């Protein structure tokens, strides 16, 4: 399955009956995929911890998918709309794109600026 608007392939997917208990697993999948994408260690750890913390505060079923590209990690979360609304608030610092029953996140390697 290809990521919309991208040539990246979804390489990991996860389906859970309950978001809270799956938070740690989803966090570590995010960390592994962030490293694969070439994100720096602190960026990868922040993605892991922020996503896991947000999921711990949510309940209900969800599905997640991850795809990585050069310096980018894409994460898609599908869940009932109340869960998506809650996650959008909790992950606002990452610029989530929310749609009914779906939330997309993109974690990127910061570009270097010459000064």
Q: What is the mean pLDDT of each run of 10 residues along the chain (115 residues)?
A: 57 90 93 92 94 94 90 92 94 91 89 66
Question: What SS3 class is residue 73?
Answer: strand
Whether pTM > 0.95 for this model: the answer is no
Question: Cα–Cα–Cα angle for 24, 79, 28, nearest 5°?
Answer: 20
82 falls within a domain: yes
Residue 113 lies in a domain: no
Domain that holds residue 16: 12-108
Does residue 36 sit within a domain? yes
In a domain, 61, yes or no: yes
**Domain assignment present for 26:** yes
Name the domain count of the chain. Answer: 1
User: From CA 66, how far away is CA 9, in angstroms rounded?
Assistant: 8
Q: Tell me: the pLDDT tens digits for 76-90? A: 999 999 999 999 999
């Amino acid at each position: 399955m290809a990521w919309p608007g991208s040539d990246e392939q979804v390489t990991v997917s996860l389906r859970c009956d309950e978001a809270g208990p799956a938070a740690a697993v989803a966090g570590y999948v995010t960390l592994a995929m962030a490293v694969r994408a070439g994100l720096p260690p602190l960026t990868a750890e922040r993605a892991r911890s922020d996503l896991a913390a947000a999921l711990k505060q949510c309940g209900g079923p969800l599905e997640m998918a991850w795809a990585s590209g050069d310096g980018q990690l894409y994460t898609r979360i599908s869940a009932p709309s109340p869960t998506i609304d809650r996650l959008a608030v909790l992950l606002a610092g990452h610029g989530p794109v929310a749609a009914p029953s779906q939330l997309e996140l993109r974690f990127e390697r910061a570009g270097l600026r010459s000064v």
